[in-house]
């Protein structure tokens, strides 16, 4: 049981990193701190980066764990490429989340 929990904690950490990395790709690098206003903007940037990136990473983790438990473990667990299949499925779920995020933000103007 401890092995399963540790395994999913590691996948959750990976998904949180992917979520923050995705937001970094969208936002770009942090603004430079040249005066007080840019220092405040820089701190707001990091708060937004980790809050929204963490939220996307948490959604990714939940979707991946559900997909892994209900589909991958039953059909692909005996495959020698199981880790690669899981990693690829996590990236595919991230791409789907990125498309949904883009549609909700830019196209439908919901967020």
Element (H, E) at 80: none
Q: What pLDDT was estimated at residue 93?
A: 97
List the one residue out of 92, 107, 105, 91 whose CA is nearest residue 52: 105
Helix (H, G, I), strand (E, B) or coil at 32: coil
Q: Residue 76: what pLDDT?
A: 86
Give the model's pLDDT for residue 12.
Answer: 97
SS3 58: helix
pLDDT at position 74: 87
pLDDT tens digit at each of 111 positions of the chain: 898 899 999 999 999 999 999 999 999 998 888 899 999 999 999 999 999 999 999 999 999 999 999 999 988 888 899 999 999 999 999 999 999 999 999 999 887
DSSP state of 108: S
CB atoms closer than 10 angstroms to residue 99: 10
């Amino acid at each position: 049981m401890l092995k399963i929990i540790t395994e999913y904690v590691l996948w959750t950490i990976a998904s949180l990193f992917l979520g923050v990395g995705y937001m970094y790709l969208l936002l770009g690098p942090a603004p430079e701190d040249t005066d007080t206003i840019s220092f405040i903007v820089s701190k707001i940037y990091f708060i937004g980066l980790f809050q929204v990136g963490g939220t996307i990473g948490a959604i990714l983790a939940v979707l991946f764990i559900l997909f892994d438990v209900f589909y991958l473990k039953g059909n692909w667990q005996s495959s020698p490429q199981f880790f690669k299949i899981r990693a690829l499925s996590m990236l595919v779920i991230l791409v789907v989340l990125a498309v949904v995020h883009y549609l909700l933000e830019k196209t439908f103007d919901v967020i």
